[in-house]
Amino acid sequence: MNRGLILGFFDGVHVAHQTVILSAVNYARKTSLITFKESPSVYFNLECEYIYPREKSVEKIKSLGVDEVVELDFPQIADMNADDYIKFLIDKYNPVSISTGFNHTFGKNKSGNPELLRACSTKYGYKYFCIEPQEYEGEVVSSTLIKKYLKEGKIEIANRLLGSNFCLEGEVVHGAQIGRTIGFPTANISYPKDIVKIPFGVYSGLVGERHAMINWGMKPTVNNTKEPVVEVHILGYEGDLYGKVLEVEILKKIRDEKKFNSLEELREQIEKDKSECLKS
């Protein structure tokens, strides 16, 4: 069927991931990306956080022209040795090509690597694409590096390496409605579970094509929450969003979260934040 295989987890589908994917899309008539329903880290009881919800990463993968995304259950293959895993892929897909990143490992105890895939390419008759590391300011582009930038609030760099904007998605829930009393009504959502946490603070963003101000944190000025919350003020929007799912793209960190002496002082700062948002 002239099918190219792409192997990897691809959290965030960053610019280096995209190069791996496109090596197959540009070579084979059909492409299948073989991945997992959740990170293998979960199987090994390691802490796991994602850049995007899995369904968004899959959506981004398909937008690059991949015909099929196959999500395997990692526990079902965790004890398979590397040679058997390659044979499993060959028997099932008979690929004309296999594409991976330079540091891809597979098989029990991570015994499989690009060298093994290259060595097997002649035996099984496929072309092997091993994509070399891509760097940003001397560091190899990876999901780990992007998470580091996100945790540091360096959103613009993270977005550049992702090739798209980091985003938060959630159902709009009722809040204390204090924002509307000072002219800045907000839609409140919970920070998505298992998504890498950015620092508390005020951010500029987008909801659809509209500019938005986002406050993520404990709302210290009004001190009415026990759990951190994401508050989104969509500039120029009037309407009821309760119960709707909101996707908020994060563009830039404007400032840290801060406690103000009064609501009026808070309102004056939000006006300044709004001007910064409109520059983003």
**pLDDT tens by residue, 178-192:** 656 566 889 999 999
Return the higher-pLDDT residue of 259 and 144. Answer: 144
What the chain holds in terms of domains, given with CATH numbers, is: 3-140 (3.40.50.620), 165-279 (2.40.30.30)
Amino acid in the structure at residue 137: E
Number of Cβ within 10 Å of residue 275's Cβ equals: 9
pLDDT of residue 183: 65
What is the 3-state secondary structure of the chain? CCEEEEECCCCCCCHHHHHHHHHHHCCCCEEEEEEECCCHHHHCCCCCCECCCHHHHHHHHHHCCCCEEEEECHHHHCCCCHHHHHHHHHHHHCCCEEEEECCCCECHHHCECHHHHHHHHHHHCCEEEEECCCEECCEECCHHHHHHHHHCCCHHHHHHHHCCCCEEEEECECCCCCHHHHCCCCEEECCCCCECCCCCEEEEEEECCEEEEEEEECCCCCCCCCCCEEEEEECCCCCCCCCCEEEEEEEEEEEECCCCCCHHHHHHHHHHHHHHHHHC
Q: What is the mean pLDDT of the chain?
A: 92
Which residue from 172, 150, 173 is spatially nearest to 160, judged by alpha carbons? 150
Q: How confident is the model at residue 203 (pLDDT cuts 50, 70, 90)?
A: very high
Task: Examine the residue annotation and report whether 231 is marked as an active-site residue of this protein.
Answer: yes
pLDDT of residue 176: 62
The catalytic residue among 55, 139, 156, 231 is: 231
pLDDT of residue 169: 96
Judge whether 33 and 3 are in contact, CB under 8 Å. no
Q: How confident is the model at residue 105 (pLDDT cuts 50, 70, 90)?
A: very high
pLDDT of residue 226: 77
Q: How confident is the model at residue 177 (pLDDT cuts 50, 70, 90)?
A: low
Per residue in 34-79, pLDDT (tens digit) is 999 888 887 777 778 999 999 999 999 999 999 999 999 988 888 9
d(CA 253, CA 193): 21
Mean pLDDT of 191-206: 96
Q: Can you give the pTM of this predicted structure?
A: 0.92
pLDDT of residue 164: 96
Mean pLDDT of 261-268: 87
Per residue in 147-170, pLDDT (tens digit) is 999 999 999 999 999 999 999 999
Tell me the two tokens of residue 139: 């560091």
Mean pLDDT of 201-229: 88
Per residue in 220-260, pLDDT (tens digit) is 777 666 789 999 999 989 888 988 999 999 999 999 998 88
